[in-house]
Amino acid sequence: METIKFEQLAIQPEILRAITDMGFEEATPIQAKSIPIILEGKDIVGQAQTGTGKTASFGIPILQNIDPKNKSLQAIVLCPTRELAIQVADELRKLAKYLHGIKVLPIYGGQDITRQIRAIKAGTQIIIGTPGRVMDHMRRKTMKLANVKMVALDEADEMLNMGFREDIETILSEVPEERQTILFSATMPKPIMDITKKFQKDAQIVKVVKKELTVPNIEQYYYEVRPKNKPEILARLLDIYNPNLSVVFCNTKRMVDELVEELQGRGYFAEGLHGDLKQSQRDRVMNGFRNGKTEILVATDVAARGIDVDDVDAVFNYDIPQDDEYYVHRIGRTGRAGRQGIAFSFASGRELYKLREIQRYCKTKIKAQPIPSVSDVAEARVSKVFENISETIEAGGLEPYVEMIEEAINVNDYTTLDLAAAFLKMVMGENEVATEEANQDFENTGAEEGMVRLFINIGKNQRVRPGDILGAIAGESGMPGKLVGCIDMFDKYTFVEVPKEFAHDVLNAMKHAKIKGKNINIEPANQR
Ligand code: ADP
Ligand code: MG
């Protein structure tokens, strides 16, 4: 995908500054194609789907062509509804933030007309209005058209659908002919082409047909994760799903660097990719990823864009992308060629709203998932080991080993079961598997439904407050503090309830933790 920066589009510095403030990094395709044409003064028919930035496509060149010293009406933008008129006016005002002396006014039915008349007279150069209300002002001669040099029809197909055709034609025939006529629409039915023929001069047609935004065949999950716990949760997911190749997307270069270091420190084969790397470094990283030496590519959107990594097993949105479309691009890296892809997103706070918006925009479902516990990781590893065992047995050639096992059993008085269990434990290494007993302990702690009551041998006498307990549990285990249930504090000990699915994590994390500098003992409570 070729990208165009706004700086490449001959836009004046004041507007560029506003664009930067608005957080736009690069022009959308319809903007890149249409802004230069409109700036040249040519008529245009622009077609692109909703949400592709059509407002700025005409808004930027209109603002740039307005003479701020001239206080008469110079541009009219027609919009189908009051909401859109307000929205477009807002966007234009943002773009005009550093331009002095430019007034943008939305006008629509239902609003006090004398107020509008006063505002128009006060020196409005750009009017954003619904066709009906604009007609109204034209009839009343409260809107002078003599100096109007640009007319834009925004969402033209919608306006026609709403029966504004006659109004539009009337308006267009009354505005001086020496004008530029700009038309934007999501679709191009014949009536629009009729308007073009009748009212535009030699219009350039610009089309951006967007790729289908649906994202089939990709399972999408999200986890509510506090930023601080993201590395741990990422590691657990990598261990559980064990993807051969995965891409982890971050929103900033700094985050890429930090995460790569963190992952490498945890023993993963991870490399980072972002805009600050020299070409030779990028090549090295990409070669490593293609030949499988690097299993995890950590990248920013911009850096990942130019590269052809398409068949990864999993995509992680370590940060939720700012742009909805980025989400689609990101997760589209997996699930190619009919294979089952999987995408995980981490979100907290405001990012959760962003996720909801993405689901709406992409018409997709991103399912919430509970954070996998340490024992989930262990379980996943056990099943992986058993899979390997099956393969090894099927491959055959076990005879010499069977003999050795027989000998070990005879010499040491072990059972084959003991031996197999010992092997499994060795293979599992740090991923300890909890005993049944420990699990059962959680059933009878006298906690509320779904919770586990934990006993901690520290209390009021040690000058500990409930907040210290909560802080320690959340801080050490990574479980969100708001999930901690009731905390009962006594002189020498404290009971605290945590959700069952986090109980293992909390116990493990707290084993070596200190509260207020004191070593503690923590265990499931005995029901009295
Ligand atoms: P359309 O009219 O094509 O439906 P809009 O002009 O309403 O789309 O733009 C949709 C959203 O995208 C708006 O919130 C707008 O501020 C934002 N937007 C526009 N251009 C860009 C850009 N170049 N980069 C990022 N966001 C943009
Ligand atoms: Mg629009």
Q: Which residues contact 511 (CB under 8 A, 6 or more apart)?
A: 522
pLDDT > 90: what percent of the chain? Answer: 45
Q: What is the pLDDT of residues 237-256, one digit of tens each?
A: 999 988 989 999 998 888 99
**Average pLDDT for residues 181-199, to the nearest whole number?**
91
pLDDT of residue 100 exceeding 90: yes
* pLDDT computed for residue 310 by the predictor: 65
Estimate to the nearest angstrom the gap between the alpha carbon of 293 and the chain centroid: 28
Distance between CA 311 and CA 326 in Å, rounded?
Answer: 17
Report DSSP state, residue 291.
T
Model confidence band, residue 214 (pLDDT cutoffs 50, 70, 90) = low
* pLDDT computed for residue 233 by the predictor: 92
For residues 67 and 333, the model is more confident at 67
**Average pLDDT for residues 449-471, to the nearest whole number?**
90
Please report the atom of ligand 1 found closest to the CA of residue 56: 6
Do the Cβ atoms of 180 and 21 come closer than 8 Å? no
Q: Which residues form the pocket of ligand 1, taking CB atoms under 6 Å from any ligand atom?
A: 24, 27-28, 31, 48, 50-56, 91
pLDDT of residue 430 exceeding 70: no
Q: Three-state SS for 196? A: helix
**Average pLDDT for residues 168-197, to the nearest whole number?**
93
DSSP 378-446: HHHHHHHHHHHHHHHHHH---HHHHHHHHHHHHHH---HHHHHHHHHHHHHTT-PPPPHHHHHHGGGS-
pLDDT of residue 526 exceeding 90: no
57 C-alpha to ligand 2 centroid (Å): 10
Which residues have beta carbons under 5 A from ligand 2 (an ion)? 54
**Average pLDDT for residues 351-370, to the nearest whole number?**
86
Which has the closest alpha carbon to 326: 362, 301, 297, 348? Answer: 301
Radius of gyration, CA atoms only, the chain: 32
Identify which of 24, 57, 358 to mutate to test ligand 1's pocket (most ligand atoms within 8 A of the CB): 24
C-alpha pair distances (Å), 488 with each of 494, 505, 522: 6, 21, 14
Please report the atom of ligand 1 found closest to the CA of residue 94: 16
* pLDDT computed for residue 308 by the predictor: 65
329 C-alpha to ligand 2 centroid (Å): 22
pLDDT of residue 448 exceeding 70: yes
pLDDT of residue 339 exceeding 70: no
For residues 43 and 386, the model is more confident at 43
Which amino acid residue places its CA nearest to atom 12 of ligand 1?
53
Say how many C-beta atoms besides its own lie within 10 A of residue 94's C-beta.
15
Which amino acid residue places its CA nearest to atom 2 of ligand 1?
54
**Average pLDDT for residues 449-463, to the nearest whole number?**
90
Average pLDDT, the chain: 88
Residue bearing tokens 């535009």: 200
Pairing status of strand 204-208 against strand 246-249? unpaired
Model confidence band, residue 436 (pLDDT cutoffs 50, 70, 90) = very low
For residues 350 and 493, the model is more confident at 493
* pLDDT computed for residue 437 by the predictor: 46
Task: Tell me whether residue 284 is exposed, middle or buried, using C-beta atoms within 10 angstroms of its C-beta: 0 to 12, 13 to 18, 19 or more.
Answer: middle
Do the Cβ atoms of 167 and 123 come closer than 8 Å? no
51 C-alpha to ligand 2 centroid (Å): 7
* pLDDT computed for residue 182 by the predictor: 98
Do the Cβ atoms of 335 and 217 come closer than 8 Å? yes
pLDDT of residue 106 exceeding 50: yes
52 C-alpha to ligand 1 centroid (Å): 5
Q: What is the pLDDT of residues 139-157, one digit of tens each?
A: 999 999 999 999 999 999 8
pLDDT of residue 16 exceeding 50: yes
For residues 451 and 126, the model is more confident at 126
Identify which of 3, 22, 33 to mutate to test ligand 1's pocket (most ligand atoms within 8 A of the CB): 22
For residues 3 and 148, the model is more confident at 148
174 C-alpha to ligand 1 centroid (Å): 31
Estimate to the nearest angstrom the gap between the alpha carbon of 19 and the chain centroid: 21
87 C-alpha to ligand 2 centroid (Å): 9
* pLDDT computed for residue 337 by the predictor: 59
Length of the chain: 528
Which amino acid residue places its CA nearest to atom 18 of ligand 1?
53
* pLDDT computed for residue 447 by the predictor: 85
Model confidence band, residue 274 (pLDDT cutoffs 50, 70, 90) = confident
